[in-house]
Structure formats: structure tokens, C-alpha cells
């Protein structure tokens, strides 16, 4: 008889028992997991958080939409309230080709009629229909959208609206904030430039404008506003959810800035400067017209310059040379030497001296004509601009007293005129020879604005006024106005001294031996002083040589008895010096000073000058008719029937012999430039964006691309000038 089996051994081999054990264990695990899930779910429901994230906020964010409300940048106005720089927008056009791009109810949002799109766009873009069709039929059939290169960018609101009227499926625009400079070249380096930058706010990222040079930069915090934000709840189609309200924080616009510039005088100065630049090709040219009683700058410009509206000419030359460049002023500095000696009681006009040359501290100083004028009284040293005479005057004054007066006139100190990039200047004053040559403007480095500030003391009874270009700032939100009052920085000389210097400056203009005979203006008394300064050799070794390697200058004050205007012009290294320097500078000085004086006396007829109307977006026939009626010559550049760009820009002054260039839609074509000046050809290059090489001087006689030839087909274009 067999022995009975162990019960435990039997249980382990019993499948039913094993299943029961495993089932119970699995059920236990499921209950635990379920309880954990219930606990976790209950926690989430009660707390509304997962991993420290607020689910309520996260779910709400799925429907939240935030839009940045861009603040308007403040406008810059001239003295009469005309805008110089203001907020605007440009537009870029693009076309969606992807047939999957549809809206509600399968509305087609892509281009459905390429031929129609090409026809309409060719009316407003400088591209012909064939070129546009080629872009609308790219090699890659999966292309989502196409753009139209530079031809489709920078479009005006007028052109955008005209294209929109055609209701083209699949054609869209992107808006870019921009700065409008309606006057084109207009104190460009002084006004400056504002460009785009990305600004991040709670509402998202927006493109804002920021000043990068000139007053746009120095007053950036004043001009820049604060962006706002608009928040709404919307569905997947972009519509606001019912029973919800928009939350909005309004944008705060920037403040408006009013300048002292007079557009009538500023525009005229720019025209005169451009003419001299074209004819004589100086390396640099500066001019400032100021009211010496207040220090207010009425007109200011420089060459090289640029057009802030188009960017043409900007390149790498970003300096405001009126404050950013220091230079040796030459004989114009004799005004301050003479004033210092008179004021100190050290000027003895009847004392004779031997002109021609003098040796000081081992250095020989020559008069500008080398041989001098024999033995003459010191009273003739100023109108003759004798360097030797002024060395004598400086020696009588004494080096310490002379340096004291230089500091009284605020040289070697910034004027703080709000113009950007200002430097302080410098002086070499260690040796006796250094001290001597500063008397006639060598060995001392100044800025144009330092000179203008000093000139006010002569023209304003000894009171020296800080140069001022901003007159007031207004807040459009609050209506608050902050006025900039004229600021006197010192009284370096007495009233009687200033009067005596003005009288001696008249001798420069009217004495037969004066150096300023070219600056006489019939009907007005003008006090002047001329200057011819040597230029330091940048490679060392003294000064540059050659007839044109100088900084030529003139300052004039009028009316001489009680000046209301001070005009200072400097010209560096004219490359085509076909006239004496005084004659060249008089081409700016005389007409501008006369116009200012005429305005003051109420006798000016300049208000009848022709200004360029706005013709962009008009048909060629309508634009031509309007310009012809105004007596303006027109040149069409392009095969189309609609004007897409114009040169000059709207509201610019048109000279009697100036051409208005009309760039149309369609293919760009070369005009017949026979008889054109260099200035006109440069404007053609600016308008078309083509590189044109100019050879010779005078007026155009040959062109490498024939009239009506396609500009886009020519790699290089050469225009030859010849003198008549």
C-alpha cells in the first residue's frame, strides 16, 4: 500500500489553484493602479495642476490670441510744422500657389488665374507680364508661395490699394513699419535715420523703428512710444469666441519733435550744395545758416550726403561732419584772434610790421602770397589775411591770454547741440611756434558747430549762444509741450569789441585789397572772413601740397550793422577746381544769404518756386500732363502705362532745367541721355538701381546702351561726358 502525497506538493501542481493565486494577485494590482489613477485624477481636478503647470491657464491659452499694438514713432517737424520724418508703412507683395490653401467652405485662397494676376501686377511693378508669369510657374510644383524680388518690395499704400481693387485670389501683402522722409535729401545726416528692429512684449514680437544716426538716434527715447497689446479668445478659424470680450492695453505714441530748420532755406541750400558738389567735386562740403541772436540753426547740410527715403548714397559714411569731424580752420580763426586782442586792449592797429615772413621758435611762417605786401600797419593784416600780421598780434596778446580767450570762446569743448557723434577738438600749444600758428587757424582742431557757436559772440554783441536745432517737444497723449529756450554759454568779449570786429569784417568784403570781394550782395551790407587751411598729411610729415589740397572757407554775417544771419561754408579738396575757391563758395553763399535777407525784408519771390507733385500710381499720360502744365520736363523710363516711382520725390523743389524721371511698370528702358548733366545721370542710376559708369566732364554725348534698350539686359552701362 502506497503512502499518501504531501498536500503542499499537491497544491503546487494543481493548475486551478495556481490560477486562483495569480488572478487574485493581478486583481490586487489592478485595484491599486485604479486607486492611484482615481487619486491622481481627483488631485488634478481639484488642484488644476500637472507638473506645476496650471491646466486651466493652459487650456485657456489654446484660445487666447495676443496682438501687439504698435506705438507710433513721433514725427519730426520743421520750424513751420511741416513733417520732415514721420511714421509710415511699406508693403511687399507675394502670391500663394498651393492648392491646399483654402478657407471656410473650401474657399480658394491660392492663385486661381495666373494670367490675370500677371496682367494686374505688371501695371504696378517694374516687371513685365512674362517675367511675372515665370515666377508664378516655378520649376518646383510643390512651392507654397512666390515673391517678386526687389520689384515687389517697398510698395506704397497707394499701389497696394490699387492692386487690392482687382480682387486677385492668392495675392497678399506683408506690412513693414517704415519711416517716411518726404523731403528726400534734407539735412540728412543731421535728421538721421530710423530703421527696423524687433521688439518683444507680452503681446508677442513686433517690428519697431529705432534711431541709428542723427537726431533720430539722440532723441530716440523721446520719439519712441510704448507698444500696447490686444488679447481675445478665438476659435481655430480666427474668429472671436462668443460671449467673450477683448482685453486691450492701448499703445502710447512717441513724442513729436519740432526743429528750428526753415524748409524754404534748407531746401534751397540742398540744391545749391548739390550743384557745387556736381561741378567741383569736393571731398567734403559743409554749410550752416544760423540766427546768432538765438543760436537757432535755420539750415544745415553736408556733402557727401544721402537720401533717407531711398537709402541712396548712405554707404559707410554715417558721420555728421558738422560735429563729428575736427579740422584746422585756417584764416577764419583770425576773427577770434582779433577779437581777443581788441578785448584785452592789446591791439594796436597803427603799428607797422614787415609782412612776407617771420621766424618763430625755429619755424618760418609765410604770408599766403609768400612775398607779402612790404611794411604795412596791423590794421591791414585782417582784410589782407596776413599770417605774419597775426603772429605779431598773438605775440602782443601773449600765449596765456590767448589760450584764456580760446577757452572763453568754448573751443576744445562740445557744444551739446543734440547732434550725434560730437567731438571736442584739440590744440597744440606746447611750443612757441605752435602758439603762433594757432593765431591763423593751424595747430588747433575745431568742429563746424564750435565755430558757429563762437561766431554768435561776434554777431550778438559779445553774447555767445549755444547752437540749437530743437525748438520744442510735444506729447500727443497729454498735450504737454516742452520748449527749448535759447541758451547763452558765455560772454567772451564786450559789445564794443564785437562791433569793432564786425567793422573790420566789412573791410574784408569791401576794401579793394580785401579777400572777400566775391561775397558782396547788392542791397545789403555783408561782413565776411575767408579762410584757406592746410590739411595735415595723414601719413605724417607736415601738410599736403597742391593747389586743391586745402580746406577753403568763408563766414558771413548780415546785415553787418546788426546781424540776423551767420552763414559758414567749408569746402575740402575740390577735385575739379576750375574756378577760384572764393568764386566756388560764392555760388552757395550769395544766393542763400540773399534769400534769407529777402525773406526777412519781405521782398523774396522764392515762394513761387516749382515743387514736384506726387504722381506715383498715376497713369503716364495723366502724370505727364500734370508735369507739363507745371512747366517740368519729363522722361519716361519703362514700357508700362503706370508710374511706380518718381524722381524727384513729391514736394522737392524743381529747378528750371531739372528733369522729372518717371519709372513705370513693365520692362525698364534706357532713356536718351544726350545733353544730360552728371547730376541727372546719377539720379537715373539711383532711380533704376543700375550701375552707370560716367567718364569725362560736362554733358552726356555718348551712351553704351542705346535709347529704349532694356536696362536689365545690360551688365554695364557707360555714359561719356564732354564739355560744350
Q: What secondary structure does DSSP assign to 386-411, as a single string?
A: -HHHHHHHHHHH-HHHHHHHHHHTTT
422 with 413: CB under 8 angstroms? no
* Cell numbers placing 554: 568763408
DSSP 627: H
331 is catalytic: yes
* Cell numbers placing 535: 590739411
**653-654/610-611 β-pairing:** antiparallel
Judged by DSSP in three states, 630 sits in coil
**256-259/76-77 β-pairing:** parallel
Q: Which residue among the candidates 331, 420, 553, 677 is catalytic per the annotation?
A: 331
Ramachandran region, residue 599 (left: φ > 0; alpha: ψ -120 to 50; beta: rest) = alpha
What is the separation, in whole angstroms, between the first and last Cα of the chain?
Answer: 146
Determine whether 81 is exposed, middle or buried from the number of CB atoms within 10 Å of its CB (0-12, 13-18, 19+). exposed
d(CA 570, CA 556): 12
* Cell numbers placing 298: 535755420
Backbone phi and psi for residue 248, each to the nearest 5 degrees, phi listed first: -140, 135
Tell which residue, 304, 261, 311, has the closest CA to residue 417: 261
Q: How long is the chain?
A: 724
DSSP 179: E
d(CA 256, CA 222): 8
Could you tell me which residues are beta bridge partners of residue 92? 174
Tell which residue, 345, 367, 346, 365, has the closest CA to residue 356: 367
DSSP 110: S
Q: How far is CA 15 from the centre of its chain?
A: 94
Determine whether 124 is exposed, middle or buried from the number of CB atoms within 10 Å of its CB (0-12, 13-18, 19+). buried
**HSE (side-chain half, CA atoms, 13 Å) at 151:** 22
* Cell numbers placing 47: 488642484
Could you tell me which residues are beta bridge partners of residue 77? 83, 258
Backbone phi and psi for residue 371, each to the nearest 5 degrees, phi listed first: -90, -15
* Angle at which helices 495-510 and 448-459 cross, to 10°: 110
620 with 636: CB under 8 angstroms? yes
Tell which residue, 528, 531, 507, 530, has the closest CA to residue 458: 528
d(CA 687, CA 681): 10
d(CA 599, CA 606): 9
Q: What secondary structure does DSSP assign to 502-513, as a single string?
A: HHHHHHHHHSTT
- Active-site positions read 331
Amino acid at each position: 500500500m502506497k503512502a499518501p502525497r504531501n498536500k503542499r506538493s499537491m497544491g503546487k501542481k494543481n493548475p486551478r489553484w495556481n490560477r486562483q493565486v495569480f488572478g487574485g494577485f493581478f486583481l490586487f494590482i489592478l485595484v491599486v493602479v485604479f486607486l492611484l489613477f482615481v487619486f491622481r485624477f481627483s488631485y488634478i481636478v481639484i488642484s488644476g495642476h500637472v507638473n506645476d503647470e496650471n491646466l486651466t491657464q493652459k487650456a485657456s491659452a489654446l484660445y487666447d490670441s495676443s496682438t501687439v499694438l504698435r506705438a507710433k514713432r513721433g514725427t519730426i517737424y520743421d520750424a513751420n510744422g511741416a513733417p520732415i520724418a514721420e511714421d509710415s508703412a511699406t508693403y511687399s507683395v507675394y502670391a500663394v500657389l498651393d492648392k491646399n490653401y483654402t478657407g471656410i467652405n473650401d474657399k480658394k485662397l491660392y492663385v486661381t488665374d495666373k494670367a490675370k494676376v500677371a496682367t494686374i501686377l505688371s501695371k504696378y511693378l517694374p516687371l513685365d507680364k512674362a517675367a511675372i508669369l515665370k515666377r508664378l510657374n516655378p520649376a518646383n510644383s510643390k512651392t507654397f508661395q512666390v515673391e517678386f524680388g526687389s520689384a515687389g518690395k517697398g510698395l506704397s499704400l497707394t499701389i497696394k490699394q490699387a492692386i487690392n481693387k482687382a480682387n486677385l485670389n492668392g495675392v497678399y501683402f506683408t506690412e513693414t513699419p517704415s519711416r517716411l522722409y518726404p523731403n528726400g535729401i534734407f539735412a540728412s545726416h543731421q535728421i538721421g535715420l530710423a530703421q527696423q528692429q524687433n521688439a518683444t512684449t507680452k503681446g508677442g514680437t513686433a517690428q519697431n523703428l529705432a534711431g541709428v544716426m542723427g537726431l533720430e538716434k539722440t532723441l530716440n527715447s523721446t520719439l519712441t512710444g510704448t507698444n500696447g497689446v490686444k488679447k481675445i479668445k478665438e476659435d481655430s478659424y480666427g474668429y472671436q469666441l462668443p460671449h467673450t470680450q477683448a482685453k486691450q492695453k492701448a499703445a502710447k505714441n512717441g513724442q513729436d519733435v519740432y526743429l528750428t530748420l526753415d524748409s524754404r532755406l534748407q531746401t534751397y541750400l540742398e540744391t545749391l550744395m548739390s550743384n557745387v558738389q556736381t561741378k567741383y567735386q569736393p571731398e567734403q562740403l559743409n554749410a550752416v545758416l544760423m540766427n546768432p541772436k538765438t543760436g537757432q540753426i535755420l539750415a544745415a547740410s553736408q556733402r557727401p550726403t544721402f537720401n533717407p527715403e531711398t537709402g541712396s548714397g548712405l554707404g559707410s559714411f554715417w558721420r555728421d561732419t558738422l560735429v563729428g569731424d575736427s579740422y584746422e580752420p585756417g584764416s577764419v580763426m583770425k576773427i577770434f584772434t582779433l577779437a581777443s586782442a581788441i578785448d584785452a586792449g592789446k591791439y594796436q592797429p597803427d603799428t607797422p610790421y614787415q609782412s612776407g615772413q617771420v621766424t618763430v621758435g625755429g619755424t618760418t611762417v609765410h604770408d599766403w602770397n609768400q612775398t607779402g605786401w612790404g611794411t604795412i600797419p596791423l590794421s591791414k593784416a585782417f582784410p589782407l589775411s596776413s599770417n605774419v600780421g597775426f603772429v605779431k598780434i598773438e605775440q602782443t596778446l601773449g600765449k596765456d591770454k590767448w589760450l584764456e580767450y580760446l577757452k572763453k570762446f568754448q573751443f576744445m569743448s562740445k557744444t551739446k547741440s543734440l547732434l550725434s557723434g560730437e567731438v571736442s577738438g584739440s590744440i597744440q600749444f606746447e611750443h612757441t611756434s605752435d602758439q603762433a600758428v594757432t593765431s591763423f587757424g593751424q595747430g588747433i582742431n575745431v568742429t563746424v558747430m564750435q565755430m558757429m557757436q563762437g561766431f554768435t559772440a561776434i554777431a550778438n554783441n559779445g553774447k555767445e549762444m549755444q547752437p540749437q536745432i530743437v525748438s520744442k517737444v510735444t506729447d500727443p497723449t497729454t498735450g504737454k509741450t516742452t520748449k527749448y529756450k535759447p541758451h547763452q554759454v558765455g560772454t567772451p568779449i564786450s559789445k564794443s569789441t564785437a562791433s569793432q570786429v564786425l567793422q573790420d569784417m566789412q573791410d574784408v568784403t569791401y576794401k579793394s585789397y580785401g579777400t572777400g570781394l566775391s561775397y558782396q550782395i547788392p542791397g545789403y551790407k555783408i561782413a565776411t572772413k575767408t579762410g584757406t587751411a592746410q590739411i595735415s598729411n595723414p601719413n605724417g610729415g607736415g601738410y599736403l601740397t597742391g593747389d586743391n589740397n586745402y580746406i577753403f572757407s568763408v563766414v558771413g554775417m548780415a546785415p553787418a550793422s546788426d546781424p540776423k544771419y551767420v552763414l559758414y561754408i567749408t569746402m575740402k579738396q575740390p577735385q575739379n577746381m576750375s574756378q577760384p575757391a572764393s568764386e566756388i563758395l560764392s555760388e552757395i553763399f550769395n544766393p542763400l544769404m540773399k534769400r534769407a535777407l529777402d525773406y526777412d525784408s519781405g521782398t523774396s519771390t522764392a515762394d513761387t518756386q516749382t515743387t514736384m507733385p506726387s504722381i506715383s500710381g498715376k497713369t503716364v499720360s495723366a502724370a505727364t500732363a500734370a508735369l507739363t502744365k507745371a512747366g517740368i520736363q519729363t522722361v519716361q523710363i519703362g514700357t508700362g502705362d503706370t508710374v511706380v516711382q518718381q524722381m524727384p520725390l513729391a514736394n522737392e523743389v524743381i529747378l528750371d532745367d531739372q528733369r522729372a524721371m518717371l519709372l513705370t511698370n513693365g520692362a525698364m528702358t534706357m532713356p536718351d541721355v544726350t545733353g544730360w548733366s552728371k547730376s541727372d545721370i546719377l539720379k537715373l542710376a539711383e532711380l533704376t538701381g543700375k550701375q552707370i559708369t560716367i567718364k569725362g566732364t560736362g554733358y552726356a554725348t555718348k551712351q553704351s546702351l542705346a535709347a529704349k534698350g532694356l536696362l536689365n539686359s545690360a551688365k554695364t552701362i557707360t555714359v561719356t561726358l564732354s564739355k560744350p
